[in-house]
A and B are shown apart, each in its own frame.
Chain A
Amino acid sequence: MAESGDTVLLHWSEKTANPSEQDPLGLNLRVGARLGAQLLYCITSITPRARYYSFLTWCVADYLDRVKGTALDGGLRMALLLRERALTLGCAFDHGGQPCEGGGLIGSREAAHVVAANAGDALRLDKVELSKNLAWDAYKGSLAGLDLFAGAAPEADGAEDEETDKSPDAEQLTEDDLLLSPAGAELARLFGTAVSGASVASAVTRSRPEVTPEELDGWGKAAGLCALAAGRAPELQELRTMFLRVGGNSRNSHRFRHDSIIAFLFLASGLASQEIILDEVTFATTTYFNQAYGPDGTVIDIEWPAALDDIVRRWRLFHAHYYLSVALEGLFVSVVREGLDAGLGGFTLDDLISPLDSRHVAERLSEHLGCQLSGLFIDLSLADVAHAVGIATDGTHPEWNDSLDVLARLGHALSETGIESLLRDRNILHTPEGIALSLLLSAVVTARFAGWRDQPQSDWLLNNVYDASEDITVPLVLQDLVTHYDNWLGVPFRELGKRLIQRFVVRQHETLAYDKSRSGGKILFHTERGRIIGRGIPYDAIGVTNPRFRSAIQVLLDLGWMQKQEDGILALTADGIECLERELAAMEAEP
């Protein structure tokens, strides 16, 4: 029949799905990001340099004072663009074309090319092309959070996320209408004293903002990121005060940041004396187990001050979520790999875990765990595995979780850190043992968490679940297992594994895809009639990290509280020691 415009016959369906690998289970950007946003409020993974906080505040003040309303008023963003370019070029000229130590300068790679190609000629700041992104866009939320802007009224604590900022005021005002708070004005004033004589500061307000390399070099010395750590910046004390400020709006989050900073300083102080490097892994073990590996591999106990007890427990919960994330992403890697191998025919969860039904896997796992498993892994429960590594119980007693917490500490076969390090090895991750270890890690962290339920902070994780159908964290997994099994600790991994993979990996990935696109097509596999079918896109490694850790350490280095020694050890400066002692004393004196 002839087809009219309103009749569609015999058409193939279009493929509208478009796979995406970003945060496939939502573990990083949902609960993980919420926890991190509270523990290090206003220090994010993309705001690692302390001097940007004062520089950008000065940019706003400079725009308001000298540009706004004049014939050259191109708006705040134009003003920021010129000033940010001047800073990046200035730092590059100051360092002979190299980026600042510690990095984090927007556009420094392009600036290095400009410096290398420059033969002493003057540069037009409005013409030179550096990064297309403004540092402002990364930092402005943090500046607002630190109360540097006037009129940026806070949202209720924890009640809103960024998608719901629809108040009428927010829609009527623009960035050009921004005003500074007294704290912001003071910070800008102090920064301004560092650059008031610089010719670049004048150039950025001219219609032809032309500057020489010498002028930029001088500007870099005065306004650059390194000047802060070198103690040359007049706003240093103000910045230190700002990062330690508590109270006011968002007081809980400010308090968490304050306490986290003090915890970092305390750790750096203690670890440096034992020649231990404070890195992401050590930070995890010191908060999770109160232990760290010494330089010779021995386990060293950390005794936290009582005043830091609350923040350390919160970081412990953060890391519980982190280890669960590692475990579930490990399983995700396995599911995606199986999908690639199975092709369009797909596979079932039984297919996925059937390789665990092997003596070889049990032997390899016994090797990894340093024990002798009593049978095939797939037939064992967590209680059986725990028994094999010396935690003797059938798992039915409530105290079992406590003994797991006491016995399975750093260095133990069942410690989360140990299992994580095995999973981070792709040669293990991409084998059936990778699936087994991921399942084991999920179960261990969940069982350990069960023993913490009486602690005052234990609901904190659950409170960061906004939607139980989309967010995953440890108490939700625990609740699911407790709901489905009378004694989940005794359930063999054949059954438990399928439950964990189906609910927290497969379904989670498919559900979250709708947050990324309306069609739900940003997935690496889908389920059809009980079979999981891959979409031909690999996902090889676990992507879970603690993204704010590096920023926090860099900020503390910038603020001159920490310094990195030649051997990589982070030690406190004299100012850092003074700050730690003062703040700890004040915390201990609090009722």
Chain B
Amino acid sequence: MRSADFRTLLDRCPAEIALFSTYAFQPTYFERSLLNSRALASATRIVVLMDGNQYRQLQKDGEPTRHLNHRYLLVPIFRRTGVFHPKLHLLASTKAAMVFCGSCNLTQPGCTHNLEMLNSVQFQLEDGERPPPSVALAQQALAFFETALAASERRSAALAREWVDDLKESLPWLQVARRQRRIDGNLQLHHNLDKPLWDAIQSRIGDEEVKRVTALSPFFDRELAVLKTMQRAWPDCEFRIAAQQHTSNLPTHVLAGITPQPALFALSGHQERRLHAKMVVIETTARTIIVAGSANFTREAWDGINVEVCFVWDTGESVDDLLFDDELKLVAIAPGDFVPGTEEPPTPEPHTEGGRLYLSEAVLESGGKIKIEYGMDDDLLGCDVTLRLYPSGRIDPLPPMSVPAKKRGQATLTVADSSEMRHAVACELCTTVDGARVMSHRTWLVQQDALTHVPGEGDQRTKTEREVIESGRGLAFLLAEIEEEDGLEGLVRWLREHTIHFSDQPRQFFGRHRGIPRKRDPFRSDDPQQEVPEQPSEADQQMVQKAVQDFAERHRNQRLERHVRKGNIYGLRNYIDIFVAVNSRVFEYYVRGLVKAPMAVGLIIENLNTTLRVKRWRDQDGDDHEDIGYLPILTRNYESDMDLLRERLSEANVPGHLCVSLLMAQLARVTIEKSGNPQPQDMLERQAHDVTSALRALDMPLPTGEERRRALREYEFSLTSTEERLLVEIQAMVEDDSETAPAT
């Protein structure tokens, strides 16, 4: 089965503005996971459209939120009929855009656990070049958001509409070629706000003969109306229904009564994950058409009652081969044997403002003015009503503000001190009748000015992460933290997505990570520190090894070789930082069994070669060539001021780092040796000779034990045992050195 991670997909396209739509929404997941992602970290404006009834439920549940309507705007979309059910996202910047259309809601299970179907198209925009065809897809997505927002009278929707207008001005490419309907050959975006999905699909198929239809869905309408409609339209067609037992609400008794009876398949595999993917495959005599997105196989989805969005495209590939294998497959089953689930597809609830006292919206405008829209039952009109504001994470409200008693209307209040409005603020109306309290549901203050994020303010990366990207230092600890939090997948993702900065400017010494013990009074966790040398699975090992290999090669090619080409000492500190960070990670992951010994040896040796190599040759034409590494090129370029060069190399402890990296390669290499009882020092003689030769050419001695240990400390191994093992070897080498003549 081919798969993708939702967050990784989004992260491909860092956005300046992001528009999301979803049926269900979990602020906690969105804020703690997606808002911190690369995709949204520097977004200026973020809007989430969600189903109105689900929004009401969110209000009732009182889920904690920190950034709602402060960092991103949440707009509920209420429908008279049907539900607002799309999962369409548009992420755009001046240089790139992404359109995502899938089945997952913006919830924790939707984005990380369920079996969902993901589809996304991303494109780059180059200056002066004609926009790619996929631009029309983004235009269609934007049009969908405009249409959805136009139906809402809420202030938050009006604000989002203003933002969409701004977006079209700032990204003019979103406005061109609106008439272009077909994109990238055949990929189209269909939404029910234009016309029902069923009509769109019929138009696309035209007179073609439909041979087979396969529908995979978690939800079905009770009468299987879509199936019956299709059967009427294509009477000679073969139908296949795929669903998951215990979760899909397939009406098996209805299915059993349909003639000719469609073939039924149960999804098998990944039993702990709920099927939430929706897909219909239509095979005609000429082609295979795929419909995938938010639409369940229900009448409400296909007849335009709900708001749904799907991608529709032709494919030449076998869908069965693409999606199913031994891990996840479809198994034929008789309707009578299929055990359906009980959960029904999303249905609308009567839309009424909730309760005797309600607060529809509250908007914080400049100058601390809060504009509210609210209402109450007649018996409350004589009561003292107050507005309470609860800043995120606070137990007690800010001082309450009196609200004029009105049956329905607006009021403008002034908040005395808006300094507490640093995060999301929940608000509610409150009064007392006959000694009993009456409260509205809580809603979230729309903090109009704060919602436009100024780039450069509040970089979502942590300070540690910024320092690591800047210098490579602290990488071991950051990766250990990420692995602890997100497992090996998170580690691999970070390694793939990040490259340490290139710099040829002199920079201050950052200091080592392990600081002196600090007195902390008194809140210190009892958690014991655990070393984690668990044996990885083969799949994990291969996944991490590939990521480490890419990380090491990327840094060698894009950073170290660039320093070689520049050949100056200004980049020395950055060179050593990257050299150390990469070799350190390679070796520690080797120690943990995540990188195989030959790969570890190879990667470290390549970095040593980049630093030390001296290759000269004469070609067939008699022309001389040479390929020399960083130290030889520095030696040549600073021939006239060798004292300065030696001073800088000593300051950066280059001899120490060369010997420690060589030792790591030797330790890994010795484990590959099959015969005898070799010692690490006996391994990699050529590389050892290269180190000695390079230092000799510089007229520098081999590093002392202290210099090697000092270098080792900069490797920042997260496992104490790794560092200890190297320390012991260094100690042994120092003893050996002391027993032989000093090598200078």
Give A residues with C-beta under 8 Å from B: 1-2, 6-18, 29, 33-34, 36-38, 41, 44-46, 71-75, 77-78, 81, 126-127, 132-134, 137-138, 140-141, 143-145, 147, 149, 151-158, 160-162, 165-167, 170-175, 177-178, 207-208, 249-250, 253, 343-346, 462, 465, 467-470, 476, 479, 486, 502-503, 507, 510-511, 513-514, 516-521, 523, 526, 528-531, 533, 535-536, 547-548
Contact = CB atoms under 8 A, between A and B. Distances in A.
A546 to B, nearest CB: 11
Q: Which 9 pairs across A and B sit closest by C-beta, in order of nearness?
A: A469-B64, A514-B32, A250-B521, A13-B116, A6-B122, A140-B517, A253-B522, A11-B4, A144-B519
Contact of B511 (A33, A73, A171, A530): A171
A536 B319 contact: no
Nearest to A253: B522
Interface string B504-523: 00000011101111111111
Contacts of A73: 706, 709
B742 interface: no
B1 A155 contact: no
Contact of A152 (B6, B277, B316, B517): B517
B516 A152 contact: yes
B511 A174 contact: yes
A362 B5 CA distance: 49
A157 B114 CA distance: 45
B159 interface: no
B414 interface: no
B331 interface: no
A74 B734 CA distance: 11
Contacts of A138: 528-529
Given A18-B487, A37-B524, A344-B274, A165 B518 contact: yes
Contacts of B123: 6
A207 B735 contact: yes
28 contacts: A7-B122, A9-B120, A12-B115, A12-B116, A12-B277, A13-B116, A16-B113, A16-B489, A71-B706, A74-B730, A77-B724, A133-B720, A145-B521, A158-B522, A161-B520, A162-B523, A162-B525, A167-B518, A173-B516, A345-B247, A486-B435, A507-B64, A510-B28, A511-B28, A518-B36, A528-B274, A531-B343, A535-B272
Given A12-B328, A33-B523, A71-B734, A462 B395 contact: yes
Interface string B469-488: 00000000000000001110
B109 A533 contact: yes
A178 B315 contact: no
B64 A511 contact: yes
Contacts of A33: 523-526
Contact of A177 (B12, B516, B523, B704): B516
B436 interface: yes
A529 B343 contact: yes
B59 interface: no
Nearest to A38: B522
Interface string B264-279: 0000001111100101
Nearest to B314: A1
A167 B108 CA distance: 35
B728 A8 contact: no
A515 to B, nearest CB: 9
A9 B319 CA distance: 11
A14 B519 contact: no
Interface in B309-331: 311, 313-316, 319, 322-323, 328
A343 B246 contact: yes
A201 to B, nearest CB: 19
Most buried by B among A14, A153, A511: A14
B521 A253 contact: yes
A535 B113 contact: yes
B602 interface: no
Contacts, number: 336
Interface string B257-293: 0000000000000111110010100000000001010
A161 B316 CA distance: 58
B187 interface: yes
Given A15-B273, A137-B529, A10 B290 contact: yes
Given A37-B523, A127-B728, A344-B274, 8 more contacts: A8-B121, A10-B319, A37-B522, A155-B519, A158-B522, A165-B518, A514-B29, A516-B485
B175 interface: no
Contact of A133 (B7, B109, B531, B704): B531
Contact of A8 (B28, B119, B524): B119
Contacts of B66: 469
A250 B394 contact: no
Contacts of A156: 521
B202 interface: no
Contacts of B436: 486
Contacts of B566: none
B343 A10 contact: no
A171 B521 CA distance: 19
